[in-house]
Chains A and B, each alone.
Chain A
Amino acid sequence: MSNFKSKYASLPDFYRSLILAIVLSFPVFFIYFFALGSVTDKATFILNDTLILVLMYFVAALSLDLEVGSLGLPNFGKVGFIALGAYITTIIMNLGLFGNFLVDYAFGFVLACIVSAIFGWLIAIPSVKLRADYFAIMTIAGGEIIRLVLQNEKRYFWKLTDPVLNIKEPLLLNTFKQNLSNLQIFGIIFSDVLTLNLGSFTLGFGDTILYTLDLNFGGIFIWQFFVFLLFLAIAIIIYLFVEVIRKSPYGRTLRAIREDDITVTSVGKDVYTYRWQIAVIAAIICSIAGSLFCILNSAFEPIDFRPYITFNLFVFIIVGGIGNSRGVAFGTLLIQMFIVSSTSEIVKANLNIKLSEILPVIGPIMQDFQIKMDLSADYTRFVILGVILIIFLLYRSEGIIPEPKSNNERYLSLLTEDERKDSDLAVQQMQSSSEKDRIQSQFAEKETIDEV
């Protein structure tokens, strides 16, 4: 075991990430394909239930990672901004100011960004001066206040179901999908169905069939595909935007603040300004995720925006890799696949063990003592997510794909081949030696000087 451990530790970073990724994704893919096998409409399951959800959460996780990963602000109120984005976009769409739902959506999208920027600024201004744990409490409180406002301001945020009796419901409906399915542009009818059938393959020899691979993916509507393209485009734009921020001198300043804010203050940068700027940018990105959320879930109410969504976002970024957009993408894909498959019907039906009713001798005693021991999918999912989070925090806090140690490729490419080799070696030496070694070597130098 120790031999294996030392071998693992001596591997290059890339292979270590690869091993971890394979080890972690194998059970996830296993559950996912198990769930996929039971679904008749495979294309909808892959595209609509998984990928679109992943893209939406990817945008939200990026906004969180910009705060936690780049700046070290543990924001636990993300779900409030998702709610704001979803609500404002839907309300503007339901007003129908321009007559065209796409223009309405775009207008609501922009307005949601502005409103959440203002809210983000209001929450950020008092809280950026606080310590990390107080900042977390502050943002939880901010997110809860947003949820309370959405719940209680019936005048604006509740839907009027009966105009005569003035009865209102908290459930809001978004008509984006409906309108999109009725659309017809350039002869493409959006309610048509795309089908993909690759037949089925059987694996085995002779008469014994080991495994049957069913590749009849079923069909999806063109509008579903269009929604997927829209989500993909927005996610890519946000990804590029975040990458630009991270690679710019501004992003380097952010990382410096994360590591040591006193040093940054001493070279004349205003730390708080950077903090609230990033908080506002993250709020805007999060409200974009909310605008995508309202397309995804056409009906929602305030109770849907529970704090556990923020917790899921934290799991995504910590498993994938803090401060690293590609890691966030991988983590979101992996964990969201796990969540989707563990909430599917077949997994729930299979994983529903009531130990107190099954066990022969201890069971009745447990029933007498009112101990249930239900191993149902709903509980197990959260326990597994929490355990994964804790294990990553304890043993690999940089995530599956660690943050790149230098990202100034633009400037490195200006150097010649030899110069670059030298600088790479120097950086590697610096990074490979631990703090202790460095101090010892400094002492050794000092002693030699003294002897001379």
Chain B
Amino acid sequence: MLVIGLNMTYSVLKFSNFAHAEFVTLGMFLGWWSLQVLTYLIPSDAPLGDLINNIFIHACFSFIGVGTFGIICDKLVFSRLRNSQANATTFTVSSIGIGIIARYVFGMIWGELPVPGAKYSSIPSFPGFIPEFLRETRYNIALLDTPFGFQRIAITNYELYIIFIAFILVYTVDYFFKNTKLGIAMRATSDSHELAQVTGIDTKRIIYYTWFIAAGITGFAGAWIRAKQNNFTLLDGSEVYLLPIFAAAILGGVGSFKGGIISSFILAFSRQGTVILFTQFQLSNGILPLEDILNIVTFAPGYADGIGFVILIIVLLFRPQGISGTVDVSRARV
């Protein structure tokens, strides 16, 4: 029942970067690829093999890879756009363009659908020092007898780790942004380039650091999500995760990390709740057979993917600054 996208929470970037979806995709690919490479290089019976070839290493690998990719994107395109004082439309369109280029270049390199276990295993392992009960693959946490039928919370170890790491990262990044020197410099740069430069901050370097950390965390999350899924495709990032990420970022308030994780939970719960509710509405012996009563609309569980968009539209209508945000999304008006 519980699915959390860790990546939803990290919208450090100051403009709407639609190429963000490709960071997720690249993170997935790099995590998968480093698993393949490490499995090839290290024989399975080597001592301490699982100390090197484990999910944490893969995630760190994709952190570095995707972070570098973010810097390359900025250097090639976004810095030039910033220098030419382009408007927001140009940024949006060009980030979508970068997304398309990147997606199909990844497709060229690794193929559209990397077959899980084509040559080696596709499921990463955990390092040996983690106790056995934490490496168990599946937990059934609770059995609830609700009016909506018999529901249970089934959670795999990957999802448990994702939630755990998500909370740690949220608080770390929050602390980092508010208290360290680099974080303060980042905030100053985002407020005003000129003033930051006057006080002696190298804004170019700060922007590169920001890209590296933002893209890197996305890639880190992508590697973890990849480990949870049975298979993944090239279009996962842009078609599955892009809009939920934006919905969560806006709902939580852009730039607010704690708001981001709360809104991700809200979105995930409402999505699953919609699935359960609509399934009940469709059944004629459910608690409320709405579909038989209202004979004009279909209550398909497929609509659950759309509930994020509906929440997004409602949020933008009534509270565009999000749960805890202070960003003004409306157009400049006198």
Contact = CB atoms under 8 A, between A and B. Distances in A.
A379 interface: yes
A148 B302 contact: yes
A74 B18 CA distance: 13
The majority secondary structure among interface residues of chain A is helix
Interface residues of B, number: 61
A343 to B, nearest CB: 14
Interface in A259-273: 261-262, 265-266, 271
Contacts of B198: none
A134 B114 contact: no
B37 A138 contact: no
A171 interface: no
B77 interface: yes
Contacts of A372: 108-111
A233 to B, nearest CB: 32
Contacts of B36: 369-370
A130 interface: yes
Contact of A134 (B250, B305, B334): B250
Interface stretch (A4-12, A197-205, A381-389): A381-389
A155 B246 CA distance: 32
Contact of A375 (B18, B84, B108): B108
Contacts of A368: 40
B72 interface: no
Interface stretch (A32-40, A50-58, A139-147, A400-408): A139-147
Given A131-B330, A262-B333, A382-B104, A74 B246 contact: no
Interface string A146-190: 001001111100000000000000000000000000000000000
B93 A318 contact: yes
Specify which of A144, A151, A389, A390 lies most central, judged by the most chain B CB atoms within 10 Å of its CB: A390
Contacts of B77: 390, 394
B250 A385 contact: no
B46 interface: no
B10 to A, nearest CB: 17
Interface string B63-94: 00000000000000100110010111111111
A130 B320 contact: yes
Contacts of B18: 136
A132 interface: yes
Contact of B313 (A126, A136, A311, A385): A126
Interface stretch (B1-9, B95-103, B150-158, B162-170): B95-103
Contacts of B238: 307
A261 B333 contact: yes
Contacts of B105: 379, 383
A397 interface: yes
B89 A131 contact: no
Contacts of A142: 309, 313
Contacts of A151: 302
Interface in B188-228: none
B334 A153 contact: no
Interface in A191-230: none
A137 interface: yes
In which size bucket is the chain A interface? Answer: 35 or more
Interface of B is mostly: helix
A68 interface: yes
Given A132-B87, A141-B243, A262-B334, A386 B111 contact: no
A76 B313 CA distance: 15
Contacts of A304: none
Nearest to B119: A370
B303 A311 contact: no
B16 interface: yes
B181 interface: no
A249 to B, nearest CB: 22
B302 A152 contact: yes
A137 B250 CA distance: 10
A373 interface: yes
Nearest to B242: A140
B306 interface: yes
A144 B309 contact: yes
B97 A389 contact: yes
B316 A132 contact: no
B196 to A, nearest CB: 23
A392 B302 CA distance: 39
A141 B302 CA distance: 15
Contacts of B297: 153
B130 interface: no
Contacts of A370: 33, 36-37, 110, 114, 118-119
A393 interface: yes
B93 A130 contact: no
A109 B289 CA distance: 36
Contacts of B303: 148, 152
Contacts of B305: 148
A311 B40 contact: no
Contacts of A383: 100-101, 104-105, 108
Nearest to B15: A133
A74 B302 CA distance: 28
A289 B87 CA distance: 29
Contacts of B103: 382
A307 B94 CA distance: 15
A163 B238 CA distance: 38
A87 interface: no
Contacts of B250: 134, 137
Interface in B224-272: 238, 243, 246-247, 250
Interface string B286-330: 000000000001101011011001101100110010000000011
B300 to A, nearest CB: 4
A72 B312 CA distance: 22
11 contacts: A129-B331, A137-B246, A137-B250, A151-B302, A155-B298, A261-B331, A271-B333, A374-B107, A379-B108, A383-B105, A394-B77
Per CB-CB distance, the 7 closest pairs between chain A and chain B, nearest first, are A133-B16, A386-B101, A141-B309, A132-B88, A152-B300, A382-B104, A389-B97
